[in-house]
A and B are shown apart, each in its own frame.
Chain A
Amino acid sequence: MKKSSEKSAEKPEVIVIGGAAGSVRFLLSLAPALGTDLGIPFLVVIHRMRNEESRLGQILDYRLDLPVKEADEKDEIRPGVMYVAPPDYHLLVEDDRTLTLVDMELVKYSRPSIDVTFTSVSEVYGSAAVAILLSGANDDGTSGLAAIAHAGGRAIAQDPAASEVDTMPKSSIEVVEECEVMGRKEMMAYLNSLRSVASRTGGHPA
């Protein structure tokens, strides 16, 4: 495990966020730093009841300063937009930077599973991906975070001490050596730092 970091803040091509119990409140607390002006697409996978009509996308859309969309089959991944995995589907990305939904078996008792999405993102985006694992009550996300790190991407876990339920971040910190640990302040600072960084695709400072 590393302390939050030193690693040069290159602008990622995607930021993928996973969490379960306690994660939505934390995600909303990052609102001041989350904006469409970051020019980065966000993919969000949060565990919830499977058959429940979900208002997660609407809640995030209302509270965050960027468009939030429940992911649809074959959606193009656009910068500045947040895509939320729908209930009861796994969310994957394709090589052509579009989204795919599948209804394969549960992973870590979960669908959507964070491991599934993180791993898929690691395969497509490699070192251009950043993954953030938040509060939650099981170890879904740990092997996904490992995949992100091994592909050269940046793996971040919410500080367990600041997590409503610490099982999820704790598990990833124990297993994933490259995992950085951040509290709300560090995460806000990291996100804000991306505003002034040229994108690696040869873009210009935002």
Chain B
Amino acid sequence: MIFRKYSAEKYNLVTDSSFNEFNLIVCRNVLIYFEKELQDRVVHLFHDSLPPLGFLALGHKESLRFSTAESYFESTDKDEKIFRKIR
């Protein structure tokens, strides 16, 4: 049953733009491989794809500190690196 409600799509963080709104975006240990500029692009992309108060979960050692979108999020779990869109 669950498969009827689920869709898997290929998506390129580097070149694609937002294509849907998601309540939760989980992206772990991907941003660590990106330069600051690309990290920033991707965080904005996530921001564009979240509704207000939507959640973004990053990897343990990732943060929003290099992103110009940092102030659009609040941290809801510091250790687990879970953020919520507030603006």
Instruction: List residues of A whose CB falls within 8 A of some B CB.
Output: 71-74, 86, 88-89, 100-103
Q: Once the chains are docked, how many angstroms separate the CA of A88 from the CA of B32?
A: 13
**Nearest-CB distance from B41 to chain A (Å)?**
16
Q: Once the chains are docked, how many angstroms separate the CA of A47 from the CA of B63?
A: 24
Task: Count how many pairs of residues, one from A and one from B, have CB atoms less than 8 Å apart in the complex.
Answer: 23
User: Could you give, for residues 60-77 of chain B, a 1 whenever the CB lies within 8 Å of some chain A CB and a 0 otherwise?
Assistant: 111100100000000000
Q: Would you list 9 pairs from A and B whose C-beta atoms are within 8 A, ordered by A residue?
A: A73-B31, A73-B32, A73-B62, A86-B60, A100-B32, A101-B32, A101-B61, A102-B33, A103-B32
| B33→A74 contact, CB < 8 A | no
- Chain B residues with Cβ below 8 Å from A101 are 32, 61
Q: Once the chains are docked, how many angstroms separate the CA of A89 from the CA of B59?
A: 11
Q: Once the chains are docked, how many angstroms separate the CA of A73 from the CA of B61?
A: 6
- Chain B residues with Cβ below 8 Å from A103 are 29, 32, 59
**Nearest-CB distance from B5 to chain A (Å)?**
30
| B61→A86 contact, CB < 8 A | yes
Q: Once the chains are docked, how many angstroms separate the CA of A88 from the CA of B66?
A: 23
Which chain B residue shows the least CB distance to A86? B61
